Structure 1
């Protein structure tokens, strides 16, 4: 991919500014505050867009910094580039109200879509993070960000390589030498997510069934409790009725005996009167005076009270017609309510037994719900299979990551050796993209090196990463990158760029890059920014 033309319609300090970019080395020269960094940011904004920050951050983000000084409603530009042998133009309007992007192929007039990923396809997958960590170096930003390590991990994950055995295990035909591990991992993650969703739905369904059965069990238990209370009530009533019937029968028998002793026409038996008289006389004779009078009177009064009560009872026994009718009820007729109670007791007992059996069945079903079903065993097997597959793929991607890091280390070491003319020949890259130099068997950290050498180390890393990560050849864009380089090292960097890169954009406020290129005999295109 090559950049051909920049058209800054309204961007930062520029209005209707056109800059032609040629193949090979391009030097965009300008004094301080001439707009070099603006051009650098414009290229990134045209390829990847420019989002406005939120809150306080919006006052210092790139959107606000490069918003046109005049006519801010016309915040826009265009960039023409070549990809795959065709010329494309992307037009962007950065205005916060009418933001849009259009992509067109100028060779055949085909209208493409940025939103649908056509621009990403033309850039061969280059994104903003990869752009900033490899081919684009901003002012005083030669160090790579932490995202470069993430880029390598993702690249390793998406690298195409796998054994026939592994391919077959994931459903790929034998002999197919290519497999996208990243997409495979994504598919496995999606399957795992779908399985977890299925398990969750099954658990929710099981929980709903449990709640329904527990509610039903509570209803049945309530019925059992009520039936038990009803059964106890009927049993108590039957017991009371039977005891009362027995007592009534006993009273009837006693009355019969008394009635046999007492004539029916007499309310008080003569023998009782004689007995009362004898008792009064004996008390009067046997008790000393004057107490005999008192005791005799008391006994007389008691006997009189007894006689009066007997006379009253006899009078009460003169029944009214309704009472006489009730007395005519036979014992067989009295048994009817008792038999009804017995029937009710039997009915309640049977209903209680059925409810108890129903409650027991529900409890058994609840116990079965607590047991691990065959479906869940199958879920566990599938989940374990997905877990093992993902672990295997992660192992493969980890191994590929190590291989790529070795390749990165080799490429970066070659570039660094070229720049330093063999002074430093081995660059060590450890976890977290921690860099150090190995010289004569001794590890040298970057903190022990000069600022210029550190920037050359990171330059070598960026160029090596670009080669390892990107299949497409992209322009190298450098914004005042060589401030700390001495002439000898800068000369070697320019020579390397001239030999290995198809297009280089150097934004600079100095003229020594042009002078060194002249000394090296490397052709370049010079554009002065004013």
Structure 2
């Protein structure tokens, strides 16, 4: 199989990009960050698909890493392959909400159903793990993964025994052992005693399952729980409505500076008290006799003071002294004392009048503030007071309604708590019922098993001989398979070692002529004096050996079929110029199928040109 071309319509940084490949060696050159690894991953995704992981793993998976940078609604592409003289076009859409996968046979002009058998043939029998661990070599990842060991062993084991890949020896042995165990469990030496014991077990089990505790009442409890749930939802809805109603009432009371009935009563009492004080003060201020008497007293006191002045001015010649012989000093004292008395009387009356006016103003101010707050008016009148009282009565009714709503809310809360407990009890009862039904199912299964065993035990004596013969046959098969497995285990290293050793001399330029690989894929290089563990050689040599091992594994797995392209993604960064030159010459001769090398250096192309090795250059 070889890749003809590919078209990327949304993958990582690429959108609307074409690349064409040819037979033999292809060099894909691009600077760092040019997108070589993106194209490498795109090829893998087109061949095997890309699944988005779940949870935290989705943050750094391939799907998220290579989502299109632009036009994220288009996450797709196509690749054209040539396989067995047919040209196939694979089209994939990776978008999670509209994934599509289609294969078109352009040679036959029809769409192919992507069955597993067809895909295995098209992909040369490689799974995605085998592809990653053999023909697809990423950056600095030439070494095989541990998952490849079991796949290679199973392949070679099946190849040696059946000549195909359909049989799994390990599973076959496990199946035979399971069958032997089942047969042994069927053998009952004391058949009669066991049969009697089973009959007793059957009778006891049937008696147990007829007990009332195993009666199925799950549906009744579920209906009850559903009814309670509906009641809870209804009660909760009513409670929410009451809460909203009470909240609105409280808001109205709070906006009018009321908290409860006592605050309303206090406001009403204060208004009435202020109104009474205002009315009394107003009546006191409006009494004319008091005003007249106050003015008259002050007027008389003023006249007396004037008379005192006149007496003082006339002296002994005044009328009272001249005709009646009254003493001037005494007269002055009488006039002054009388004037003082009238002045004090007038002053007291004036101060009392002034105090009444202040009381009236203070009461009016308080009353106006109350009326303005609740009625929006400052008019002080009996009608305003009655309107205020009506307003207070409305607040009283509102406060009473709020209190009743809050009481109902508390009652609803208690009812909801009670319903919740009932719901929990229903849940517990359902769990108990489910547990009892689970126990009943187990007992029924046990009863069925006992009856089956009892039925089987009727024929156990005649069946024992047949079972022994089958067990003997299984033992013989296991013994044969164990011997064969040992042979397979011994031959595994020989197959891989022979194939890899044929390649190691070429890639190392004759420095090492062969290698040894044990059953755990531990690698040793052969010298004239000793076996050198791979860990003791240079990183470049180590990389060459693992490359040869990959190619050997790819050759084994794809033996007898067309082979997939060998793909390298900056895999020669550890190679010096001499080693790279040797590796390129070796690769062209060792792998005759298509080879694609992604590189950020121009030296591969230069060396191939200098050595007259044909290649196809693709620049990105």
TM-aligned CA deviation for residue 494 of structure 1:
0.8
**Counterpart Cα distance in 2 of 1:217 and 1:22:** 78
**SS at the partner of 1:158?**
helix
- Residue 532 of structure 2 is matched in structure 1 by 444
**Counterpart Cα distance in 2 of 1:201 and 1:82:** 56
2:549 to 461, 469, 483: 461
- Residue 127 of structure 2 is matched in structure 1 by 127
TM-superposition CA deviations, 1:271-300 (whole Å, max 9, x none): xxxxxxxxxxxxxxxxxxxxxxxxxxxxxx
**Counterpart Cα distance in 2 of 1:191 and 1:161:** 17
- Residue 62 of structure 2 is matched in structure 1 by 62
**Counterpart Cα distance in 1 of 2:569 and 2:522:** 24
2:593 to 474, 494, 502: 502
TM-superposition CA deviations, 1:416-464 (whole Å, max 9, x none): 2112222111212123211121212212222221111110010111111
1:430 to 514, 518, 533: 518
- Residue 575 of structure 2 is matched in structure 1 by 485
Please provide the CA RMSD for this pair. 3.4
**Counterpart Cα distance in 2 of 1:511 and 1:151:** 37
**Counterpart Cα distance in 2 of 1:422 and 1:393:** 40
Q: 1:401 to 1:187 in 2, by over 3 A?
A: closer
TM-score of the aligned structures, taking structure 2 as reference length: 0.54
- Residue 565 of structure 2 is matched in structure 1 by 475
**SS at the partner of 1:6?**
strand
**Counterpart Cα distance in 1 of 2:93 and 2:611:** 41
Q: 1:214 to 1:484 in 2, by over 3 A?
A: closer
Contact kept in structure 2, 1:413 and 1:426, CA below 8 Å: yes
Q: 1:383 to 1:80 in 2, by over 3 A?
A: farther
1:182 to 167, 170, 178: 167
- Residue 412 of structure 1 is matched in structure 2 by 500
Greater helix share, 1 or 2? 2
- Residue 39 of structure 1 is matched in structure 2 by 39
**Counterpart Cα distance in 1 of 2:165 and 2:205:** 56
Matches within 5 A, 1:35-184: 35-159=35-159, 161=161, 182=167
**Counterpart Cα distance in 2 of 1:196 and 1:112:** 45
**Counterpart Cα distance in 2 of 1:218 and 1:179:** 51
TM-aligned CA deviation for residue 210 of structure 1:
4.5
TM-aligned CA deviation for residue 195 of structure 1:
7.8
TM-aligned CA deviation for residue 134 of structure 1:
1.3
**Counterpart Cα distance in 2 of 1:20 and 1:439:** 43
TM-aligned CA deviation for residue 130 of structure 1:
1.4
Matches within 5 A, 1:99-498: 99-159=99-159, 161=161, 182=167, 210-214=197-201, 216=203, 373-393=461-481, 395-471=483-559, 472-498=562-588
Q: 1:6 to 1:388 in 2, by over 3 A?
A: farther
Contact kept in structure 2, 1:136 and 1:478, CA below 8 Å: yes
**SS at the partner of 2:564?**
coil
**Counterpart Cα distance in 2 of 1:7 and 1:487:** 34
Q: Check if 1:527 corresponds to 2:618.
A: yes
TM-score of the aligned structures, taking structure 1 as reference length: 0.63
Q: 1:69 to 1:208 in 2, by over 3 A?
A: farther
Contact kept in structure 2, 1:28 and 1:506, CA below 8 Å: yes
**Counterpart Cα distance in 1 of 2:597 and 2:205:** 82
Q: 1:25 to 1:209 in 2, by over 3 A?
A: farther
- Residue 30 of structure 2 is matched in structure 1 by 30
**SS at the partner of 1:474?**
coil
- Structure 1 window deviating more from structure 2 (67-76 vs 84-93): it is 67-76
2:607 to 503, 516, 520: 516
TM-aligned CA deviation for residue 465 of structure 1:
1.4
TM-aligned CA deviation for residue 376 of structure 1:
4.4
**Counterpart Cα distance in 1 of 2:107 and 2:66:** 31
**Counterpart Cα distance in 1 of 2:555 and 2:164:** 21
TM-aligned CA deviation for residue 407 of structure 1:
2.6
TM-aligned CA deviation for residue 212 of structure 1:
3.6
TM-aligned CA deviation for residue 480 of structure 1:
0.2
Listed as ranges, the gaps of 5+ residues in structure 1 are: 163-177, 220-364
Q: 1:117 to 1:51 in 2, by over 3 A?
A: farther
**Counterpart Cα distance in 2 of 1:397 and 1:103:** 40
**Counterpart Cα distance in 1 of 2:472 and 2:100:** 47
Q: 1:26 to 1:424 in 2, by over 3 A?
A: same
- Residue 346 of structure 2 is matched in structure 1 by none
Q: 1:184 to 1:152 in 2, by over 3 A?
A: closer
TM-superposition CA deviations, 1:16-44 (whole Å, max 9, x none): 11100111111111111111001111111
**SS at the partner of 1:77?**
strand
Contact kept in structure 1, 2:154 and 2:169, CA below 8 Å: no
**Counterpart Cα distance in 1 of 2:177 and 2:489:** 24
**SS at the partner of 2:572?**
coil
Q: 1:72 to 1:381 in 2, by over 3 A?
A: farther
- Residue 222 of structure 1 is matched in structure 2 by none
- Residue 17 of structure 1 is matched in structure 2 by 17
Contact kept in structure 2, 1:29 and 1:526, CA below 8 Å: yes
- Residue 306 of structure 1 is matched in structure 2 by none
TM-aligned CA deviation for residue 106 of structure 1:
0.5
Contact kept in structure 2, 1:6 and 1:18, CA below 8 Å: yes
**SS at the partner of 2:167?**
helix
**SS at the partner of 2:540?**
helix
Q: 1:399 to 1:202 in 2, by over 3 A?
A: closer
Q: 1:48 to 1:381 in 2, by over 3 A?
A: farther
- Structure 1 window deviating more from structure 2 (378-387 vs 508-517): it is 378-387
- Structure 1 window deviating more from structure 2 (454-463 vs 53-62): it is 53-62
- Residue 349 of structure 1 is matched in structure 2 by none
